[in-house]
Amino acid sequence: MKRFILLVLLFPAIANSQSFEKGNIIISAGIDLGMYGTVAEDPVNAIKNTDGALSTVIPIGVEYGLTDNIGAGIQFRPNKYFSNEDTSTASNFDASLMLNYHFLRTENFNIHIGIKYGLSGFKYDNKINQEQFKGDGAHFQVDVAANFFPWEHIGFFAHLAYNQLRYKDGRIEDTNGKLHDYELYLNGASVGVGLQVKF
Q: What is the pLDDT of residues 39-90, one digit of tens each?
A: 999 887 888 999 999 999 999 999 999 999 999 999 999 999 998 877 889 9
Residues ≥6 apart with Cβ < 8 Å to 169: 135, 136, 137, 181, 183
DSSP states of 90-115: EEEEEEEEEEEEEES--SSEEEEEEE
Domain count for the chain: 1
- What pLDDT is stored for residue 18 in this prediction? 87
pLDDT higher than threshold 50 for residue 15? no
Q: Distances from the Cα of 185 to the Cαs of 18, 33, 40, 138, in angstroms?
A: 40, 18, 6, 10
Distance between CA atoms of residues 96 and 115, nearest Å: 9
pLDDT tier at 8, thresholds 50, 70, 90: very low
SS3 8: helix
pLDDT in tens, 47-61: 899 999 999 999 999
- What pLDDT is stored for residue 178 in this prediction? 84
pLDDT in tens, 92-147: 999 999 999 999 999 999 999 999 999 999 999 988 888 899 999 999 999 999 99
Distance between CA atoms of residues 53 and 16, nearest Å: 45
- What pLDDT is stored for residue 19 in this prediction? 92
CATH number assigned to the domain comprising residue 158: 2.40.160.20
Distance between CA atoms of residues 26 and 118, nearest Å: 20
- What pLDDT is stored for residue 16 in this prediction? 55
pLDDT in tens, 157-190: 999 999 999 999 889 888 777 888 999 999 999 9
Question: 105: domain range?
Answer: 2-198
Distance between CA atoms of residues 118 and 102, nearest Å: 21
- What pLDDT is stored for residue 14 in this prediction? 41
| φ/ψ (deg, to 5) at 6 | -65, -40
* Mean residue pLDDT across the chain: 90
pLDDT tier at 4, thresholds 50, 70, 90: very low
